[in-house]
Chain A
Amino acid sequence: MRIKVFFWGVPIGLCLSALVWFFLVNLQLGVPSASSQWVDDVVQKKHALAQQVHSEGKGRLFFVGGSNVLFGIHAGEIENELGVETINYGLSAVMTSRKIFAEAKKSLREGDTVVTAMEYSYYRKPKRLGEVELDYMMAHDVEGFQAMPLRERLEAMLSVNLVRLIDGLWSKVWGSDGKQSGLYQATSIDAHGDETSNDITRMPEAFKVLISHISPIHYTTQASEEYWLQCKDFMEWCKSHHIRLFASFPSFLYFDEYTSPQGRVFFEQSLALYQSLGIQVLGDPFMFMYPKEDMYDTRYHLNSEGREKRTKQMIELLKRKVFSTT
């Protein structure tokens, strides 16, 4: 008899644990976490900057994307060159594309021009939500979390690590003190929304070693329907609000594989997808691929020298295709 009840105990223990776990994860949704605080700080700072730039009668120029834009566009220089008030609205790729577009919509106004440069990771369907993406979503994008299909949401809840859960529950009970952890801080963003910490003269040697060991990505999973629908939705929203939309491409660490006949397929398809949606494109993916010497600490982040190169390229494109008649 005791042996039989042992076997009943196993599924009971499994189910009880699952219920308690899902309950605890749900309990701490919306509570800010130290590890994702910097992202929210960046978002709030960009909102505030956009509010401060009034640009009476003239539209503003926004660059929207993940941290490739944050690190890789010098909005201040563009503003000086083109005479258009420019805001670097680069956020972070830990946010979903839906969230980035939603945040951009909060700041854009009629008459503005927006150039998107979203990271390539959005273009393909991910296998599973990453740890940092989940961390941000649970803390600052509960709506997006709850909008996920049930199976994906359950998988995401199972993937929450214990330390993160304890952190969330602790903050729920004792309050979050707004502390941040991790390498990035929103305090290094200037008045145009540009990141200033990627100065090549102050770049740690460790980052050069890091960059030298990054290997190329092979994009093989299918295209993310969700992302391209979001692009279409964003395009239609811009049209209805009399906002000009252009798509561009993220700064990216170059590898020879990307220009090989097989490797270039993904990038050419991405260009074609934007064009098929009727979105005007500035440049092409290969134009914004840079050597290791121009990179900062990830395959998307440029250092100050790389940023200058990309900014010059962007200024030329903007003069030719966006502001040529104004």
Chain B
Amino acid sequence: MLFNSVVFIFFFLPVTLCIYLWLRTHDRYRSALVWLVLASLFFYGWWNPQYVLLMVLSIAVNYSIGMLLDKHSSYRFFTLCIGVLFNLGLLAYYKYTDFVLDALNTYTGSHWDLPHIVLPLAISFVTFQQIAYIVDAYRRKDRAKDVLRYCLFVTFFPQLIAGPIVHHNEMIPQFGHRFLRRTLWINIAVGLSVFAMGLFKKMVLADGVALYATPVFDAAGHGYVLTFFEAWAGALAYTLQIYFDFSGYCDMAIGLARMFGIQIPINFASPYKANNIIDFWRRWHITLSRFLRDYLYFPLGGSRKGNVRRYINVLIVMFLGGIWHGAGWTFIVWGLLHGTYLAINHALRDVLAWSGIKFTGRWTIYMASIASRCLTLLAVVVAWVFFRAEDMETAQSILESMFGMHGVSLLGSLQGLLSAQQIAWLETYGISFSGMFYNGLANFNVGIIWIVVLMICTQILPNTQTIMRKYKTGLSDISKHVKDKPSFIGWRINMLSGIVVGILFFFSFSKWFAATPSEFIYFNF
């Protein structure tokens, strides 16, 4: 069941919300939690009922391990290892078996049959959430004492399928909060507003710009040699597609949770406004960065064991982060690229700190920040090519076209402005005049407008949290790292904002008539 589907918006959500609120307003607190757990399992099982049993098994095992870790015993570390191995084992089996066997067949000449195991939805997110829980239980930090609240922490449907990766001590206390009737309607209004914004971003913006990304990557995957401009248009279109897709999903998750009176962590904070890659990872998939930092980077030593060790740790963390996103060489390369970017960024900071070099002057600082933002964006775009491409050959082909290795073809009409000699001279450098988009993959006259407009939006428009700042939509302990300036656009719950929400819903719903519901990119993880 997708958040942007008819059955979710008009059946599942209203029914679940109405029954939950009725139970809470009639002081049936535990019944309300049971209802939410059952509804969340139903939501999960809609995709494949068989995997509900797997989910229940995972919850039972992890909760039991948490209980065992609560005891004073010399086997605590061993119990923790069992728990972590169980979670990682499940993830490895379902997600990486085919990849590992295929790699063995390719590189060792073996002939393993690929079992084609179906990846259970949400397994990557649920695994990390529960690993964090049992590690904290080992460290004696707030174990869940109530199995029902623990179940809800894992299965709560707004964040179940594609994050954010919530921390147990953020969620479980909220399930025990006293229900305040006076905040009921404001929560629904705020939740509906944020949900509408997210739905619009996903269905109108992300799916709209996807029309210029998908044909390019498909064509490259089928052996087309792209033109310079087609390759850049496709790469930039995908850069924007994944931005609005993930941003939209995060908003929808926050909005849905808020309707139930729950706040979940902010997971996305205008990442394309980052001036460096370190800042980018404080804005993109914030909860994943948090998990990797707290449960991988710090245990590896973090930055406490010298600079070189820090760079290695960063590479390891991002390598695993890449693999977490997908079982494929392209994801590994994507992760390693970002690890390299981070290591270089840290090294550059260290060099500047050591040398005492500082940028002074308002104009110098401004130009330096523009340059660093452009460079950061370029690095991110290049990495996205690997993330999206079906295989390494496709990614290589697209990047070759992007960097002019297959020549650059300009508009045919420009030939008229040049002499034959000039044209011949340009041709020696691979510049021709056969047209910028001669493969006819999509209507790039419109595509370029989409790309330019959306890129400008990512740079200058305030994000949802800034717009909704009066209502504190998500948990803000993470967003304190994000220094977005407050915007003059502030949301107020009134008739006008209701009308705007209605307009956003209209444009989103009209997309149901254009194509079948599209899946969120992060659903694949």
Contact = CB atoms under 8 A, between A and B. Distances in A.
A47 to B, nearest CB: 28
Interface of A: 2-18, 21, 35, 128, 131, 155-156, 158-159, 161, 163, 181, 183, 206, 209-210, 212-213
B506 A6 contact: no
10 contacts: A3-B189, A5-B498, A7-B498, A9-B494, A10-B501, A14-B503, A35-B443, A158-B514, A161-B514, A206-B439
Interface string B438-463: 01100101100000000000000000
Contact of A6 (B222, B445, B446, B495): B495
Nearest to B492: A2
9 A-B pairs closest in CB distance:
A9-B498, A13-B502, A17-B506, A13-B499, A6-B498, A14-B502, A159-B513, A158-B513, A5-B495
Nearest to A131: B514
Nearest to A17: B506
Contacts of B514: 131, 158-159, 161
Contacts of A21: 506, 510
Given A9-B498, A128-B513, A158-B510, A181 B443 contact: yes
A12 B498 contact: yes
Contacts of A4: 185
Interface SS, A side = helix
Contact of B510 (A11, A13, A159, A210): A159
Given A17-B502, A159-B510, A6 B494 contact: yes
Contacts of A206: 224, 439-440
A22 to B, nearest CB: 11
Interface residues of B, number: 31
B104 interface: no
Contacts of A210: 222
Contacts of A155: 513
Nearest to B515: A159
Contacts of B446: 163
A17 B496 CA distance: 14
Nearest to B221: A213
A61 B222 CA distance: 42
Contacts of A209: 222-224
B505 interface: yes
Given A6-B189, A14-B506, A158-B510, 11 more contacts: A2-B493, A3-B493, A6-B494, A6-B495, A8-B495, A9-B497, A12-B502, A13-B499, A156-B513, A206-B439, A206-B440
B501 to A, nearest CB: 5
Nearest to A161: B514
B502 A11 contact: yes
B507 interface: yes
A235 B377 CA distance: 63
Contacts of B443: 35, 181
Contacts of A16: 499, 502-503
Contacts of A18: 506
B375 interface: no
B514 to A, nearest CB: 5
Contacts of B503: 13-14, 16-17
A41 B486 CA distance: 54
Given A12-B499, A21-B510, A181-B445, A6 B505 contact: no
B499 A213 contact: no
B405 interface: no
Nearest to B505: A14
Interface SS, B side = helix
Contact of A17 (B189, B440, B493, B507): B507
B223, B500, B510, B514 pick with most chain A CB within 10 angstroms: B510
B185 A10 contact: no
Contacts of B495: 2, 5-6, 8-9, 12
A131 B496 CA distance: 33
A213 B514 CA distance: 24
A7 to B, nearest CB: 6
Contacts of A183: 440
A10 B192 contact: yes
Contact of B498 (A8, A159, A181): A8
A223 B500 CA distance: 43
Contacts of B494: 2, 5-6, 9
B103 interface: no
Contacts of B500: 9, 13
A7 B223 contact: no
A279 B506 CA distance: 47
A8 to B, nearest CB: 6
B186 interface: yes
A296 B224 CA distance: 16
A209 B215 CA distance: 14
A112 B359 CA distance: 85
A206 B219 CA distance: 9
A239 B371 CA distance: 75
A8 B189 CA distance: 11
B498 A10 contact: yes
A21 B510 CA distance: 10
Contacts of B498: 5-10, 12-13
Contacts of B501: 6, 9-10, 13
Contacts of A163: 446
Contacts of B497: 6, 9
A13 B502 CA distance: 4
A300 B507 CA distance: 35
A12 B514 CA distance: 23
A285 B443 CA distance: 34
Contact of A13 (B185, B222, B505): B505
A9 B493 CA distance: 10
Contacts of A3: 185-186, 189, 493
Contacts of A156: 513
Contacts of A159: 510, 513-514
Contact of B505 (A5, A10, A161): A10
Nearest to B510: A158
Nearest to B185: A3
B192, B496, B499 pick with most chain A CB within 10 angstroms: B499
Contacts of B440: 183, 206
Interface in B134-190: 185-186, 189
A11 B505 CA distance: 9
B390 to A, nearest CB: 13
A184 B509 CA distance: 33
Contacts of A13: 498-506
A3 B224 CA distance: 55
Nearest to B450: A163
A24 to B, nearest CB: 13
Nearest to B506: A17
A198 to B, nearest CB: 15
Contacts of B185: 3-4
A50 B192 CA distance: 60
Nearest to A297: B440
Contact of B499 (A2, A9, A212): A9
Contacts of A6: 189, 493-495, 497-498, 501
B62 to A, nearest CB: 40
Contacts of A17: 502-503, 506-507
A271 to B, nearest CB: 32
Interface in B196-241: 222-224
Contacts of B502: 9-17
B193 to A, nearest CB: 8
